[in-house]
Structure 1
Amino acid sequence: MSQQILIIASGAPYGSESLFNALRLGLALQEEGASLRLFLLSDAVSAAIATQAPAEGYHLRQMLDILLVQGAEVRLCQSCCDARGIGALPLIEGIRIDHLPTLAQWTLAADKVLTF
């Protein structure tokens, strides 16, 4: 049985490499057979906007797409999205806005919780 891993990330998508490193680790964990859940808080929620188009460097949209295709569950904090006006924007397919009780349930169900 695979381990259930929860990654909680709150770093800005392109303001630092915190979210990038969280997604890199998520991809590596899935390659090792882990079952992954990713909950984005604070500025990290803006990584789920479908229309992002970075000029150069890493592309978080592509990384999120790969995680989703490989079976990861990805959720965004409702109040964080509301505070940033993201709820009305198109999101990457497969990513949902959710509430803190879901994060609490995921935390209790996880074998390991990692924060970025």
Structure 2
Amino acid sequence: MLMTAIEREREIGVMRAVGYPKRAVVSLLLAEATILGLVGAAIGVPLALGIGMVLNQFLVGDPLAFTAAGLRYVALGALFGVLTSLFAGVYPAWKSANKRPVEALE
């Protein structure tokens, strides 16, 4: 997210110059970070379950031999990934929103 904010510095500067409030810039960048986390979870959960099914078939003989605790860990992992991406976007969003438009357009 830090690289995204740096690469889009001019765009953010233009947004601030035309009147976007700091809060709107922060909200936009945090929404992008959250969407990235959700996409990662949407890819990661089926991948983890698929690998788990292959391992269950190989080791146990039943591909659906998941425990309730195991499925909870997958859900917690997805939630952790989304929250991590959200928190990772806070600093770049705040830094970008607080930069003066003139500095961002240089």
TM-score range, shorter chain: under 0.3
Using CA pairs below 8 Å that are at least 6 residues apart, which structure has the higher relative contact order? 2
Flag the structure with higher helix content: 2
TM-score, structure 1 as length reference: 0.26
Task: Point out the structure with the larger strand share.
Answer: 1
Q: Kindly name which structure, 1 or 2, has the bigger radius of gyration based on alpha carbons.
A: 2
